[in-house]
Amino acid sequence: MTDSIFSADYAERRARVPRGLPLVVAMQGLTDAGGAVSQLEEYLWDRYEPEELVRFNADLLLDYRARRPVITFDEDHLVDYSPEELMLSLVHDELGKPFLLLSGYEPDFRWEQFIDTVLLLVHEFEVSITVWSHALPMPVPHTRPISMTVSGSRDDLIEERSVWRPTTRLSASAAHVLEYRLHSLGEEVVGFALLIPHYLANTEYPEALYAALDGIMAATGLILSTDSVREASRRFMTQVDEQIAGNQESLDMVRTLEGRYDAYMEDQTIRSPLIGEDGMIPTAEQLASELERFLAERQTGSDSDDDSGAGSDGDSGLGGGR
């Protein structure tokens, strides 16, 4: 990839960067259940005010027709054009410890060139470890801690935190490929795939942000503030609990998910309730379809006095068995 991919003063800026820093990746790509990655990017930029080091050229990497930039029409003229951005920045945590942040859009084009460039940057800056998070909608209850799948080279984190360890095929993101390449080269890298309640996947779920920050801190030793995130999470959970308590179908669904989750956690040797018989991760559309079917079955069951088994066995169909 040519130097035109970088901002003009990249050479001067990179000379000021200490070597051996951790790299946090927050690229918004294929899946972002609960707004985990978008919240992480916004939180780091708002609280820690990163210093731009490298700006990638969107004209080479972005499909403008698929992800159009935003512009504001103000009565009779246009203002506030906001093009998509992808950049490498220098950030400092709560104690002033520096780290690198790769954040912004996931490239639509030239993945191999982009990833090769990031690998060169990792080598140049002698990055100590690369950490990234993404989030998947899954049939898990919000009343339990966020589960995750941990991948990469950190066996300690995999052993400690990786609750779900499937063998499955899935659509790759640029961050997936970056992790794959880093791991193949013997570099330190860790990925956190957060499992978000599917019925909260389209919300900005504060607990997802907290889980992402917690994973970053565990992998890097950085200190990032989480007080405001925890408070936002408590308020959000209270609202969710109140809404669910007022709807019997939703309450039954959550109880069913709790039963499946607890049974899985008690015996990790049983087949995971989060994937189907074919070993594939359910899509958001499949989860929505299963939820609609579950609610329809609950309604049918409540209308039939002689169908005493309807919904009583805790099998909502939201997990495996498809």
Domain count, the chain: 2
Of 173, 196, 224, the residue at which a domain comes to its end is 224
What residues form DSSP beta bridges with 256? Answer: none
More confident site: 3 or 168? 168
Give yes or no: residues 177 and 248 share one domain.
no
Residues 52 and 74 in one domain: yes
Q: Note the pLDDT of residue 11.
A: 72
The rounded distance, in Å, linking the Cα atoms of 126 and 156 is: 22
**Residue 289 resides in a domain:** yes
Percent of the chain with pLDDT over 90: 69
Domain annotation covers residue 265? yes
57 and 189 in a single domain? The answer is yes
Q: Is the whole model's pTM more than 0.75, yes or no?
A: yes
> pLDDT digits over 271-305, tens only?
444 445 444 545 545 555 555 565 565 555 555 55
**Averaged pLDDT, 211-235:** 96
Q: Pick from 166, 199, 224: which residue ends a domain?
A: 224
pLDDT at position 31 is 80
Determine the pLDDT at residue 6. 64
Model confidence over 135-179: pLDDT tens digits? 999 999 999 999 999 999 999 999 999 998 888 898 899 999 999
Same domain, 112 and 91: yes
Q: Tell me the per-residue pLDDT of 71-130, one tens digit each, with 9 for 90 and over.
A: 999 999 999 998 899 999 999 999 999 999 999 999 999 999 999 999 999 999 999 999
List the CATH number of the domain containing 170: 3.40.50.10900
Indicate whether 249 and 152 sit together in one domain: no
196: three-class secondary structure by DSSP:
strand
State which of 178, 197, 224 marks the end of a domain.
224
Could you give the CA distance from residue 119 to residue 96 in angstroms, rounded to a whole number? 26
> Are 210 and 297 in a shared domain?
no
Listing DSSP states for 121-185 in one string gives: HHHHTT-S-EEEEEEEEES--TTSPPEEEEEES-HHHHHHH------------HHHHHHHHHHHT
Q: Are 13 and 6 in contact (CB under 8 A)?
A: no
Residue 242's domain comprises: 233-302
Q: What is the pLDDT of residue 170?
A: 86
Q: What pLDDT, on a 0 to 100 scale, did the predictor assign at position 295? A: 54
Residues 6+ apart with CB under 8 A from 265: 163
pLDDT value, residue 272: 46
Residues 49 and 196 in one domain: yes
Q: Are 193 and 151 in contact (CB under 8 A)?
A: yes
Q: Is residue 312 part of a domain?
A: no
Kindly state whether residues 198 and 106 are assigned to the same domain.
Answer: yes
With respect to residue 180, please indicate whether it lies within any of the assigned structural domains. yes
Q: Which of 55, 107, 58 is nearest to 84 (CA)?
A: 58
Contact at 8 Å (CB) between 33 and 194? Answer: yes
Same domain? For 41 and 184 the reply is yes
Cα dihedral across residues 98, 120, 179, 126: positive or negative: negative
In a shared domain, residues 143 and 258: no
pLDDT tens digits, 23-74 = 999 998 778 999 999 999 999 999 999 999 999 999 999 999 988 989 999 9
Shared-domain flag, residues 49 and 9:
yes
Is residue 248 assigned to a domain? yes
Cβ 28 vs Cβ 104: under 8 Å: yes
